[in-house]
Amino acid sequence: MASQIKDLSKLCIHTQTTKPWDIDACVRNYSMKGIKGITIWRNVLENKNLNGVKALLDDFGMNVVSLARGGFFPSVDAGKRHKAIDDNLLAIEQAAVIGAPMIVLVCGADGGQSLEKSREQIAEGIAKILPAAQKAGIKLAIEPLHPMYAGDRSAINTIRQANEMAEMLHSEFVGVAVDVYHTWWDPDLQAGIQRCGEQKKLFAFHVCDWNVPTTDFLNDRGLMGEGCINIPEIRTWVEDAGFRGFIEVEIFSDKYWAMDQKAYLEKIKQAYLTKT
């Protein structure tokens, strides 16, 4: 039986969850609701002075949980693979300036080659950026993505594959991000969470829900409690594995982006307290 979440102290919102808001609106509104954690998507940093963003975050006492997203390493085109490395190195610099202790990696896939080949390129890519990440003190979290993204977004689709990749790179700076949306169906999920917890590689925990039916490949995620995922059960596994970090709400939803974002933030808060 999952314990009830008692307060907002571990609640983190991804800026993409409230996509209509810019970084200022995110910080002000999250803070006003008593939310102390934020994962910052790189799009909200475009054309921004990063030191100014850092000052804003500090002013409001916001904890930056993660920068989203690095990764997208594989390509049949070597030039694109080099560009991906450069972009990840830039992400590490950005993370350092805004005070993000971690970057979430959507590892990537290229349908023009095998999943095995894409995974090799992911391992190579992470190995190449790891020295810079380590130097900056920034962790890299490998996020397994749902198999429906295996053709174009991630060749890492199970918790076991994420664990294997993280372990192979044997660095305290490389771990795993568990998102219930991507992993809820995985028969190895509980064992895999336990395994990365034991290795101190359980770096992040993302929540939302799987709508039944789901009508869009990207932007039809549900608010916690609306779909078929037993989120409290998975949270219990994560906590039993020793995770004490923020619980990150990451919802892409055309439906919710169309509503008043302050009212939506209140719904998120209630769903976090009662359905997570």
Q: Which residues bind its own copies (CB under 8 A)?
A: 111-112, 114-115, 146-148, 150-152, 157-158, 160-161, 184-187, 210-215, 217, 227-228, 230
Residue nearer to its own copies on the CB measure, 212 or 259: 212
- Give whichever of 27 and 196 is closer to its own copies, judged by the CB atom: 196
The residues facing 11 across adjacent strands are 247
d(CA 209, CA 251): 8
What's the min distance (Å) between Cβ of 121 and its own copies?
15
Q: Can you tell me the distance from the alpha carbon of 56 to that of 52, in angstroms, rounded to the nearest whole number?
A: 6
Decide whether 137 or 151 has the Cβ nearer to its own copies: 151
Quote the least distance from Cβ 165 to its own copies, whole Å.
12
What is d(CA 71, CA 124) in angstroms, rounded to the nearest whole number? 11
CB of 32 to its own copies, least distance (A): 35
Distance in angstroms (rounded) separating the CA atoms of residues 276 and 272: 5
Output 140 or 189, the one with its CB closest to its own copies: 189
**Closest CB to its own copies among 147 and 242?**
147
Minimum CB separation of residue 250 from its own copies in Å reads: 18
Tokens of 3: 């314990």
Chain CA centroid to CA 32, Å: 23
Cβ closest to its own copies, residue 158 vs residue 261: 158
Which is closer to its own copies, CB of 88 or CB of 161? 161
Class of residue 276 by CB neighbours under 10 A (exposed 0-12, middle 13-18, buried 19+): buried
